[in-house]
Amino acid sequence: MDNKPKVVVIAGPTASGKTELAIELALNFNAEIINADSMQVYREMDIGTAKPTPEQRRNVPHHLIDVVYPDQEFNAARYREMALSLIHDINARGKNCLVVGGTGLYIKALLGGLFYVPPKDPELRGLLKREAEEKGLRCLYERLARYDPEYAVMIHPNDRIRIIRALEIYYLANKRPSELMREHGFNQCPVKALKIFLYIDRQELYDRINKRCIRMIESGLIEETKRLLIKGYSPELKPMQSIGYRHAVRYIKGEWRLERALELMQRDTRRYAKRQFTWFKKEPDMIWISHKSKDLTEKKVFDFLDK
């Protein structure tokens, strides 16, 4: 008999309607929600991360939101540890569990474990950081794309931390990160999971993304970013380099006009959504369902939980 706790994963690209669907499912199936968005773990970063509203969080318990401050480290290993503990706690209280988000690495780590990577090498990391400063981050990203194009497509060209770490792994392990991932197999699954990916027409998604970015600006993203800077959070911090915040910083510094910041924020969000599609297409046992097919999604969830 399989005594593993059951988990329903609702994944999908940004702006696909995951939050709204998950809340509806949680209310219908007596469930609580565990966040799987790597940006929503940060406190004081609400607008640019599109966190569920206070009302939504009152209606359905949400976990792993507002876990750390922007200058504190949070990674996939810590996510997996905390999420598994929550899953067992939720299950022990007789409730169902939904894991909701678009960060593929967090979902993969939760369901399959983490592959071994060499420990950090301060000297090598220092060399790579200096090279990024002298030659530009684009140079390092292009090198990673030559060494490991499969892994590079998963990383944003502006994600300094992950680019440097990927190159560090490549040099220390003498293997491509994507090769290490394949060797691992990600078969250390401590739960029984139903994995659903919300599919949405590309043009409709891009329209949604463009409108969402406008709403974020109108809702106070610039002011939120200013508050973070005033509190002393460096624009070089990983969360401050994420989409929306880095664009707001360039506007605040007077480097871009607001129209330019918005335009590039929309473009980069569309590109991020494209990378999410690429990532989840490679996920085994992922069921792709149109975001409009709520009845089908509910049936899949009911059949899974009723077994």
pLDDT at 223: 98
C-alpha torsion sign, points 126, 166, 50, 73: negative
Which residues in the chain show pLDDT less than 70? 1-2, 115-116, 184-188
pTM (2 d.p.): 0.83
* 8 A C-beta contact, residue 8 and residue 304: yes
Distance of CA 241 to the CA centre of its chain: 14
- What architecture does CATH give domain 122-183? Orthogonal Bundle (1.10)
pLDDT at 213: 98
pLDDT at 114: 77
Q: Which of 36, 35, 43 is nearest to 66 (CA)?
A: 43
* 8 A C-beta contact, residue 8 and residue 301: yes
pLDDT at 1: 46
CATH topology match: 6-115+185-306 vs 122-183:
no
CB neighbour list of residue 78: distance below 8 Å, 6 or more residues apart = none
pLDDT at 307: 83
Q: Per-domain residue ranges for the chain?
A: 6-115+185-306, 122-183
CATH class in words for 6-115+185-306: alpha beta
The C-alpha angle 114, 244, 252, rounded to 5 degrees, equals 135
pLDDT at 257: 98
Rounded CA separation 42/241 (Å): 13
pLDDT tens-digit readout, 240-273: 999 999 999 999 999 999 999 999 999 999 999 9
CB neighbour list of residue 176: distance below 8 Å, 6 or more residues apart = 147, 148, 150, 151, 170
Helix runs in 220-255, H state only:
221-230, 245-252
